[in-house]
Structure 1
Amino acid sequence: MALTPKSDGSGATGDESLGIEAFQAVDRIREALSGQLSGGVSPGSLMMAYVDWAFHLAQAPGKQMELGVKAGRKWQRLMAYLMASAMDPQAAPVITPLPGDRRFAGEAWAKPPFSWMSQAFLLLQQWLHNVTHEVPGVTKHHEDVVSFAAKQILDVCAPSNNPFTNPEVVARTWATGGMNLVKGWQNWLQDVVRQIRQEPPEGVEAFTPGRDVAVTPGKVIFRNHLIELIQYTPTTETVYPEPVLIVPAWIMKYYILDLSPENSLIRWLVAQGHTVFAISWRNPGAEDRDLTLEDYRRLGVMAALDEITRLMPDQKIHATGYCLGGTLLSIAAAAMAGKGDARLASLTLLAAQVDFAEPGELALFIDPSQLHLLESMMWNRGYLSADQMAGAFQLLRSNDLIWSRMVRDYMMGERTAMNDLMAWNADSTRMPYRMHAEYLRRLYLNNELSSGRFTAGGKTVLLQNIRVPIFAVGTERDHVAPWKSVYKIHQFTDCEVTFALTSGGHNAGIVSPPGHPRRRYRLATRAHDDALLPPETWVEVNPATEGSWWTPWQAWLAARSGAPAAPPAMGNALADAPGTYVFQR
């Protein structure tokens, strides 16, 4: 039987389309190889940013003169400090590090000649910021990329990263007769061997799920190809009738919210009298390359809600989503509201964005060139693994994750003791090719959700349809979901929103149990018809309260729950918590 060639929509026949796909595959392979060599960062994106900046700087004589004047002033300030400190070693510095920069915090950095080095570096860092910012005609994204790249290059030359110009390393070397460098060499070799063998960092074995972390008692009561649903065993005589469903991010293992017992949000919720369910995501492989974002909504959030409804048919559900899980939960909640599905009692979003116009430092790695590289890397393997983007994510916090570790482990010869959060951070999962490509393009690049163009279940979903009360949590030092971006949930919903801003970063700010020292939060509730305050004003009018945000959140849940009663029956047990998916490698 003769076959009729099909068109691909561009006028090409089926045979021609096959040829075009072959050419595209060649490009994909080349781009995937490039991504492996560049650590998941697009060279094309860097080049376009550099050319944009360099061309416009070359065409701006006024900016060049401004930079020359500022360079001269900084040189004068440095010379004045050198002369003053030569006569008085306690002379006041002319510049201080940026907030959060602890590289020069030691006492030895305040004395010559090391103070001269740190002051010269900080002035150069400030001048380089002037060089890469406010160049007329440069796009904002390219400006951010060039500034970020310049900072990374400059940090390589920081005096704190050189064993001969770091006073703390010099003192340790003198005190130990150089044994710190011997120990540092051994640490480096050990890390290299573990990396080659694809083994986790040293000390992770002390935090094994089911033994040291993720030990809250419970049962896996439901399993499909994508999730295991865990129901936790009640520990109180009575419980609130409305259960809590936790939807974690699928980029890492679920037990970020069930770490060691003293840091477990799930365990704490159970102890407060809540019936808790949690999703544990499958670690997908190459065979799952065609899973979609819609599959994650349908087989993840909706499947879990359906199972809870089957067990507790007359109860509404407090749904809680963390990071990407919160974004997915928002999509599911909007889709449910559009169909009149009223099973949710409330919605809690932990460090989760619904608008991606200002996604923070991650925006450095989100543009068409970067996404083409990531898609090619995922197309090649069928998924995106943590090692393919580890370098890019480490660069976002290079002082904390790269340079301070290098100084401590390899120059000082010390090892920082592993903790449960660090061990969890090393226990990553993969992301299917199609799903993650959709996530990055539809949400990060095209911002379809907040603009009312996102579809789920074949229909457009609108966040404005959500009518249940929302509790949203942002963290002050979040580089993944900046709190001002999380705060935007007020703009895209027409319901009561309680917003909490807590100290800490994306992970440590959420894992903030009561009793943890140096924790604080700000909290305010806005009715759906109240005026919306700008985020800066919101901070000014809502003073900080010492303690954990867990406590007011639990009180918020309790106020929206019925009177406590006997615990519900446990579902049919398929396995003990933490289940089987959490162990997939």
Structure 2
Amino acid sequence: MKNDKTSGEKPFTDAASPFGQIDVEALARNMGRAVEEGGKAMAAYLRPREDGRAGNELADSVSDAVTTLGRLAEYWLTDSQRAVEAQANLATGFMALWASSLQRMAGENTPPAAEPDPRDARFRDPEWSRNQYFDLLKQAYLITTRWAEKLVRDADGLDPHLRHKADFYVRQISAALSPSNFIATNPSLLRDTLAENGENIVRGLHMLKEDIDAGEGELKIRQSDTSTFDVGVNLATTPGKVVFRNATMELLQYAPSTQNVLKRPILICPPWINKFYVLDLTPEKSFIKWCVDQGLTVFVISWVNPDEKQRHKGFFEYMKEGPLAALDEIGKITGEKDVAAVGYCVGGTLLAVTLAWMAAQGDTRISSATFFATQVDFEQAGDLKVFADEDQIQSIERKMAEHGYLAGSKMAAAFNMLRSQELIWPYLVNNYVRGKQPTPFDLLYWNADSTRMPEKNHSFYLRNCYLENRLSKGEMVVGGATLDLRKVTIPVYNLATREDHIAPATSVFTGAGAFAGPVRYVLAGSGHIAGVINPPARGKYQYWLGGPPAGTYADWLEVAVEHPGSWWPDWFAWLKAQAPAEIPAARRRPGGRRKPLGDAPGSYVKVKS
């Protein structure tokens, strides 16, 4: 076998590689320290379980996965022809690998039996292709996991929900078993470990213990250097005031930065599953600051981080004490009866519920609505439906009944699992095997700053939206009113993101057809967060316009026109065209004539879970 000398990485066969420079004494000493740190990490995990402070959620999840995959195996094994075909497919893949490996050992230049996706960062180290041992591991892994994924795809006789769950669990297992996750099977990890004589493992296990302690017995993976950011100091710094507060939310109003402002104010209803400052990160990324700089009067709801006191608050209470209370205060402060509303993710779902409820009451204070990555039809809601069958919801409800809320870490873990290959395993490897602190990243700091879910609200959301899809069917009942989105006739700007793993673009497209008024469906590049938080100055990504959301998503996309950069200016032009009247900015002092309750970003956003 010939070595490729063109890469900057030194091959393992090179005499100067770490393999020839191992300090056996230091390595042995560090392995002893690693055992000690590993024991501390295990004790941190077991301690809360021994005294009853932590439950057995992992066992529940494993049980569901085993049951689901057992049903998949049963499908294939109960039919002898199907079983033989499945075995033959796997055998064919490994025979091709064996043949190509023998040819390579004989010095022939032969194509591999399996190659990773060029976008797959796990196998970028040159040794994955240059060294036959690692190349064999890589190809065997790819052949096996692709075979398993094909078993799920071809299981046509399975119940669709069961097959969806099986696909999800197979992908989780595939991500977990990747050879890139282990020292002995990852050339980069092996190189680093030998170069540091195992010191990286000691650091990593110490960090593991710290992160289990931080999660009170559960692993709270650090995705960013948390010491770098401080909400209100270098995040959520757009100048403004808290102008109203109740037990459910604080209402923030931001100070104008232009000489004149648009007369019609906007109200932003963010998700309560995360904190509002995703829309007000660093100043150069802040959607809120950008809106203020365009001459908008911006009000934002900052939801309380709930505890047991909010356990009995459902969608009606969140609607009444959230957007409806905010509309009352905006009217008092500005004197305006017309407001443009913006909803993000589940905040958008609540906004849609509010619009349907207001339509039933004849309340016309919201004159236009914008939805960011929002679902109102949950038929095609993506991988989150894996957690929303009757058994799973009952399990979640039992957990919530203990304290009156679902811990924020549970929701954060669920969201991370949707993209485990990007949001879990790279950090497990980097933090706990390489022993490296993650780099500072404002978005991942926000992602880890999780919030709790109140019991009644979250149960209502899971059952009425994910399980029974009642809102789009016109069957959801809130505050004594049966909601009908067809009664919502105001203009709607409906933004989807193309790579969204939480609110899939197809699902948002389908939901856009539920409204009776004119809908501008816009598709942004990237995903659920980066596709929304995309300032024009960065010149990143793109967006597509293709007319009203009629027909199928695929048909719409086929004729849609791509535009480079951010969708923000398109949205602002749409918003301004509806109500272009302006007034002097001096008339939009935060709080009006009333004394504000404090500075933005307020106190609720700073409460940790």
Correspondences of 1:497-536 after superposition (within 5 Å)? 497-516=519-538, 518-526=540-548, 532-536=550-554
Name which of structure 1's ranges 454-463 and 199-208 shifts more when overlaid on structure 2.
199-208
> Matches of 1:312 and 1:355 in 2, distance apart?
34
Q: What residue identity is the alignment partner of 1:71?
A: L
Task: Tell me which residue corresponds to 2:575.
Answer: 557
Indicate the percent of aligned positions where both proteins have the same amino acid. Answer: 36
Name which of structure 1's ranges 405-414 and 120-129 shifts more when overlaid on structure 2.
405-414
Q: By how many angstroms is 1:143 displaced? A: 1.6
Q: What residue identity is the alignment partner of 1:78?
A: L
Which among 566, 574, 577 is matched to residue 597 of structure 2? 574
Task: Tell me which residue corresponds to 2:73.
Answer: 54
Name which of structure 1's ranges 231-240 and 482-491 shifts more when overlaid on structure 2.
482-491
Q: By how many angstroms is 1:242 displaced? A: 1.0
Which among 111, 126, 150 is matched to residue 146 of structure 2? 126
Task: Tell me which residue corresponds to 1:19.
Answer: none
- What is the number of residues matched between the two proteins? 549
Correspondences of 1:214-293 after superposition (within 5 Å)? 214-293=236-315
Q: TM-score, normalised by structure 1?
A: 0.88
> Matches of 1:251 and 1:584 in 2, distance apart?
14
Task: Provide, for residues 475-524 of structure 1, a one-character-per-residue CA deviation record: whole Å limited to 9, x for no partner.
Answer: 12221111111111332112221122222221222111123254222123
Task: Tell me which residue corresponds to 2:165.
Answer: 145
Q: By how many angstroms is 1:389 displaced? A: 4.1
Do the aligned residues in 2 keep the contact of 1:266 with 1:276 (CA within 8 Å)? yes
Do the aligned residues in 1 keep the contact of 2:345 with 2:375 (CA within 8 Å)? yes
Do the aligned residues in 2 keep the contact of 1:229 with 1:280 (CA within 8 Å)? yes
Name which of structure 1's ranges 70-79 and 122-131 shifts more when overlaid on structure 2.
70-79
Q: Secondary structure at the match of 1:556?
A: helix
Task: Provide, for residues 214-259 of structure 1, a one-character-per-residue CA deviation record: whole Å limited to 9, x for no partner.
Answer: 1111111111111111110000001111111100001111111011
Q: Secondary structure at the match of 1:246?
A: strand
The answer as to 2:348 corresponding to 1:326 is yes
Task: Tell me which residue corresponds to 2:101.
Answer: 82
Q: By how many angstroms is 1:45 displaced? A: 4.2
Correspondences of 1:102-121 after superposition (within 5 Å)? 102-111=121-130, 112-121=132-141
Q: By how many angstroms is 1:76 displaced? A: 2.5
Q: By how many angstroms is 1:348 displaced? A: 0.5
Q: What residue identity is the alignment partner of 1:107?
A: P
Name which of structure 1's ranges 428-437 and 170-179 shifts more when overlaid on structure 2.
170-179
> Matches of 1:90 and 1:517 in 2, distance apart?
43
Q: Secondary structure at the match of 1:96?
A: coil
Q: Structure 1 pair 39/68, CA: closer, same or farther in 2 (3 Å)?
A: closer
Q: Secondary structure at the match of 1:76?
A: helix
Q: By how many angstroms is 1:99 displaced? A: 7.4
Correspondences of 1:537-548 after superposition (within 5 Å)? 537-548=555-566
Q: What residue identity is the alignment partner of 2:83?
A: Q
Q: By how many angstroms is 1:47 displaced? A: 5.3
Q: Structure 1 pair 170/373, CA: closer, same or farther in 2 (3 Å)?
A: same
Q: By how many angstroms is 1:106 displaced? A: 2.7
Q: By how many angstroms is 1:565 displaced? A: 2.3
Q: By how many angstroms is 1:289 displaced? A: 1.1
> Matches of 1:99 and 1:246 in 2, distance apart?
39
Task: Tell me which residue corresponds to 2:9.
Answer: none
The answer as to 2:214 corresponding to 1:155 is no
Q: Can you give the 5+ residue segments of structure 1 that lack an aligned partner in the other structure?
A: 1-32
Do the aligned residues in 1 keep the contact of 2:285 with 2:534 (CA within 8 Å)? yes
Q: Structure 1 pair 474/86, CA: closer, same or farther in 2 (3 Å)?
A: farther
Q: By how many angstroms is 1:402 displaced? A: 2.2
Which among 396, 419, 424 is matched to residue 374 of structure 1? 396
Q: By how many angstroms is 1:177 displaced? A: 4.3
Q: TM-score, normalised by structure 2?
A: 0.85
Do the aligned residues in 2 keep the contact of 1:521 with 1:544 (CA within 8 Å)? yes
Task: Tell me which residue corresponds to 2:20.
Answer: none
Do the aligned residues in 2 keep the contact of 1:48 with 1:142 (CA within 8 Å)? no
Do the aligned residues in 2 keep the contact of 1:39 with 1:391 (CA within 8 Å)? no
Task: Provide, for residues 64-120 of structure 1, a one-character-per-residue CA deviation record: whole Å limited to 9, x for no partner.
Answer: 122122123212321232134335586433333357532113322222222221111
Q: What residue identity is the alignment partner of 2:569?
A: T
Q: By how many angstroms is 1:197 displaced? A: 8.7
> Matches of 1:310 and 1:200 in 2, distance apart?
44
Q: Structure 1 pair 274/405, CA: closer, same or farther in 2 (3 Å)?
A: same
Q: Secondary structure at the match of 2:513?
A: helix
Task: Tell me which residue corresponds to 2:420.
Answer: 398
Which among 173, 184, 192 is matched to residue 164 of structure 1? 184
Q: What residue identity is the alignment partner of 2:327?
A: L
Q: Can you give the 5+ residue segments of structure 2 that lack an aligned partner in the other structure?
A: 1-51
Task: Tell me which residue corresponds to 2:89.
Answer: 70
Q: Structure 1 pair 269/72, CA: closer, same or farther in 2 (3 Å)?
A: same
> Matches of 2:413 and 2:601 in 1, distance apart?
30
Task: Tell me which residue corresponds to 1:17.
Answer: none
Q: What residue identity is the alignment partner of 1:262?
A: E
